Amino acid sequence: MIDPHRYFTQELDAHQTVLNAVRETLAEPFVRMLDVWTTAIENGNKIVFFGNGGSAGDAQHLATELTIRYIRDRAPIAALALTTDSSALTAAGNDLGFDQLFARQIAALGKPGDVAVGISTSGTSPNVIAGLKEAKRVGMVVTALGGRDGGAMVALADPILIVPDQASARIQEMHITLGQMLCGALELRLGLVSE
């Protein structure tokens, strides 16, 4: 039987270990990602998020932080998640196959200079990979949030924030932490809020 106190401590210890690894390895790619996001928004482009499962939730969460607000009221930042339109998702899945779910939407909505942010804990999700390839084809800046060794996203995305861990739960925790940090830093970089 589980000891809930022991479990509580073990989970937080595991989270802290990954947090420390992220602190040691991802500062430079984080700043490069912020630079990419800033340039896109300053040039009148948008940021497009996509992923599956928990990563779909992260895509929606981060797009909302930008379009509505992160901490304080300010002007909206152009962003969208490709995971929210149930008609598009089911039509693409039914008519084109699940692997084309994001690629088809990117072909319709992506413009040169927009930023694609593919989110995958494994880096191997076929529809995320297809979406990143399509983003590159249409001239978007291809970026990603990954984990483990980055999978196939490494060859497609730059910058890429690869959380150095194997556990999906720990990777997802860091994805939303890093994503929110990027949203906050973008607001500040654009001068929409002050520290």
Output the pLDDT for position 126. 98
DSSP state of 98: G
Kindly tell me if the per-residue pLDDT of 195 is higher than 90: no
Q: How confident is the model at residue 50 (pLDDT cuts 50, 70, 90)?
A: very high
* Nearest by Cα to 113 from 90, 87, 136, 146: 136
Looking up tokens 């690629």, which residue turns up? 103
Kindly tell me if the per-residue pLDDT of 71 is higher than 90: no
Q: How confident is the model at residue 59 (pLDDT cuts 50, 70, 90)?
A: very high
pTM, rounded to two decimals: 0.96
Q: Where are the domains of the chain?
A: 28-189
Superfamily of domain covering 28-189: Glucose-6-phosphate isomerase like protein; domain 1 (3.40.50.10490)
Cα separation, 100 vs 193, in Å, equals 38
The string of pLDDT tens digits covering residues 89-140 is 999 999 999 999 999 999 999 999 999 999 999 999 999 999 999 999 999 9
User: How big is the CA angle at 40 (ends 38 and 47), to the nearest 5 degrees?
Assistant: 100
Cα separation, 182 vs 115, in Å, equals 13
8, two tokens: 């509580």
Output the pLDDT for position 25. 98
45, two tokens: 């482009």
H helices present in 53-167, as ranges: 54-67, 86-91, 101-109, 126-137
Cα separation, 151 vs 134, in Å, equals 17
Q: How confident is the model at residue 26 (pLDDT cuts 50, 70, 90)?
A: very high
Looking up tokens 């973008």, which residue turns up? 186
Q: How confident is the model at residue 58 (pLDDT cuts 50, 70, 90)?
A: very high
Q: How confident is the model at residue 194 (pLDDT cuts 50, 70, 90)?
A: confident
Strand-strand pairing, 115-119 and 79-81: unpaired
The string of pLDDT tens digits covering residues 40-49 is 999 999 999 9
